[in-house]
Amino acid sequence: MTPLDRSYVCSTDGAPLLFETIGQCLDRTISRWPDREALIVPFQDIRWTWREFGEQVDALATGLLALGFGPGDRIGIWSPNSYEWVLTQFATAKIGVIMVCINPAYRLSELEYALNKVECRAIITADRFKTSEYLAMLQELAPELASCEPGALSAARLPHLRAVIRMGEEKSPGTFNFSDVMGRGTNADTERLQALATELQPDDAINIQFTSGTTGSPKGATLTHCNILNNGWFVGEIQQFTEADRLCIPVPLYHCFGMVMGTLNCIAHGAAMILPAPVFDPLATLEAAQSERCTALYGVPTMFIAELDHPEFGRFKLDSLRTGVMAGAPCPVEVMKRVIDRMHMKDVTICYGMTETSPVSFQTTPADPLDKRVETVGRILPRLECKIVDTEGRIVPIGEPGELCTRGYSVMLGYWNDEEKTDEAIDTARWMHTGDIATMDDEGYVRIVGRIKDMLIRGGENIYPREIEEFLYRHPAIQDVQVFGVPDERYGEEVCAWICIKQGETLAAQDVIEFCKGQIAHYKVPRYVRFVESFPMTVTGKIQKFVMRESMIEELSRG
């Protein structure tokens, strides 16, 4: 590759795009590997081959058709990971229904907003899980369920919702049972399903993902078959996936990490999907990786840390693992090294992206040198472009920081029913502005320096928290760390570090400050150090620095 002279690259590497629908891809996989294992869900006693999985998907698809749903309708799914979740993903795709992923952590106001924003006609929901009483919350929002016939809901607060489909075998007023829907399809519905296989188009919208609403209401990123199927395909290609691979998916399916990089990658390659638990559980993940002889494992850094530091980690035989993805948050160098050494994941890859780009734009490869695999997010995925620009929109020279922008098949159609927000994110040339500050080297490797919103300015000096975090990870007593800015009358902002200490270690704030002195610039040394047990984060493991910042501002205001 010719060394780059500016921060722009267009990748023509890799296979051609898969210009087909998700249903067409699934049917092709079933015909190629009908007797290979497709879906394993130990906690639900599910073990299906591709042929069996396809039969289950078609049963749900025809059942939904029988209830009157079809192309363009929106159906929400609100549940932790389960076989029902995976069936819903592919059944809706086969009939052109747009599946709306609803965060399992949502409560009343968030659920009401999401269902009404995209005008869902139905919702498929778990009954309950731990402290989340899903059905009870729906009944509170729509008390009309108590007296309506299933499929005939007319609720004042949810005016578009007509049907509630509940998981489990218990009966609830006004709702369909998931298993009953799977038995409703007729011969006419089967014929309709077969006709839709050729009528649906790869560029049709098929999924809505709500982005994290840290500064306002969540936005519904609208994604097509072409968006997410190809993204899953290329992420798997870089991991060198084949039908012989077995992927452990402890990340939530409601997010692109689980349902694109996970399940769609698997159906595109014929690989087995293993769901170890409804929500992330380090012990269940380790057990599934061992018992199912998984070859790949996914997770955000905090998940890998929890697995590596689990008291029972040493009893597991993980030598079947070879690859996987660590993404969703900055990946500490030391954690990456431990994953490679202790979990046998010598080919583990780092991914970077955002929901609006389906999600992955950059990925390291197993062939990349170790320094590139731990210090960068890799190079642009096949069939995509990227550029790094200054505040005026001009491409910056190699090595200079600027905003990272991407363009290509992966960029969403837009935010559902929100033209203003769409125009803020995607410019007239279809470049997606990520809001991340990055640098590019002359080989096209990209390093994420920080978020534009996370960058803090102390006394006129731009400070990128990621740089300080990477330095602090070198301290032998520090397990995890997050750095952010808090207001300061004299300097504008000051550096604050929240730190999790390794089990059995002790550390004082002054120890941290002394560790930094003479090693990093004086203005980067944390003024405030707090020791915590954990960090506030979203269900997908993304750290919520704005919550930490608000907490520190309140603490400092009290003196």
**Which has the higher per-residue pLDDT, 425 or 371?**
425
Region 180-200 average pLDDT: 97
Per-residue model confidence (pLDDT) at position 212: 63
Whether residue 1 has pLDDT greater than 60: no
SS3 544: coil
Q: State the Cα–Cα distance between residues 137 and 127, nearest whole angstrom.
A: 10
Q: For residue 3, what pLDDT band results from cuts at 50, 70 and 90?
A: confident
Region 59-85 average pLDDT: 98
Q: Where are the beta strands (DSSP E) in 371-509?
A: 379-380, 384-389, 402-408, 414-415, 432-440, 446-451, 456-458, 461-463, 478-488, 492-501
Per-residue model confidence (pLDDT) at position 492: 84
Contact 301, 337 (CB under 8 A): no
Burial class (CB in 10 A: 0-12, 13-18, 19+), 5: exposed
Query: Whose CA is closest to 273, among 256, 248, 300?
Result: 248
**For 207-243, b where at least 16 C-beta lie within 10 A, e where not — what string?**
bbbbbeeeeeebbbbbbbbbbbbbbbbbbbbbbbbee
Query: For the CA atoms of 158, 164, 167, 170, what is the dihedral angle to 10 degrees?
Result: 110
Per-residue model confidence (pLDDT) at position 454: 83
Q: For residue 15, what pLDDT band results from cuts at 50, 70 and 90?
A: confident
Per-residue model confidence (pLDDT) at position 218: 82
Contacts of 315 (CB under 8 A, 6+ apart): none
Region 156-176 average pLDDT: 97
Strands 461-463, 379-380: pairing is unpaired
Which uninterrupted H or E stretch holds 51?
A: helix 50-66
Query: For the CA atoms of 114, 117, 120, 125, what is the dihedral angle to 10 degrees?
Result: 0
Region 79-86 average pLDDT: 98
Please write the tens of the pLDDT for every residue from 348-363: 999 999 999 999 999 9
Per-residue model confidence (pLDDT) at position 214: 42
Which uninterrupted H or E stretch holds 177?
A: strand 176-177
CA distances from 251 to 115, 169, 264 (A): 23, 26, 14
Per-residue model confidence (pLDDT) at position 81: 98
22-210 maps to which CATH number? Answer: 3.40.50.980
Q: State the Cα–Cα distance between residues 356 and 359, nearest whole angstrom.
A: 6
Please write the tens of the pLDDT for every residue from 259-269: 999 999 999 99
Whether residue 469 has pLDDT greater than 60: yes
Region 449-456 average pLDDT: 81
Q: For residue 540, what pLDDT band results from cuts at 50, 70 and 90?
A: low
Tracing tokens 């999985």 back to the chain, one arrives at 53
Contact 350, 365 (CB under 8 A): no
Whether the model clears a pTM of 0.85, i.e. scores above it, the answer is yes
**Which has the higher per-residue pLDDT, 467 or 476?**
476
SS3 293: coil
Rounded to 5 degrees, what are φ and ψ at 273? -105, 125
Rounded to 5 degrees, what are φ and ψ at 245? -80, 155
Per-residue model confidence (pLDDT) at position 103: 87
Any alpha helices (H) in 239-364, and if so which ranges? 256-258, 265-269, 282-291, 301-308, 333-342
The CB density around residue 504, as the number of other CB atoms within 10 Å, is 6
Please write the tens of the pLDDT for every residue from 200-255: 999 999 999 998 644 457 899 999 999 999 999 999 999 999 999 999 999 999 99
What average pLDDT does the chain have? Answer: 94
Contact 462, 523 (CB under 8 A): no
**For 256-269, b where at least 16 C-beta lie within 10 A, e where not — what string?**
bbbbbbbbbbbbbb
Domain boundaries, the chain: 22-210, 456-557
Q: State the Cα–Cα distance between residues 524 and 200, nearest whole angstrom.
A: 54
Window from 243-247, 306-310, 467-471 with minimum mean pLDDT = 467-471
Give the whole-number percent of the chain exceeding pLDDT 90: 83
Region 399-417 average pLDDT: 97
Window from 140-149, 198-207, 245-254, 298-307 with minimum mean pLDDT = 298-307
Per-residue model confidence (pLDDT) at position 330: 67
456-557 maps to which CATH number? Answer: 3.30.300.30
Per-residue model confidence (pLDDT) at position 118: 97
Please write the tens of the pLDDT for every residue from 478-509: 999 999 999 988 888 899 999 999 999 999 99
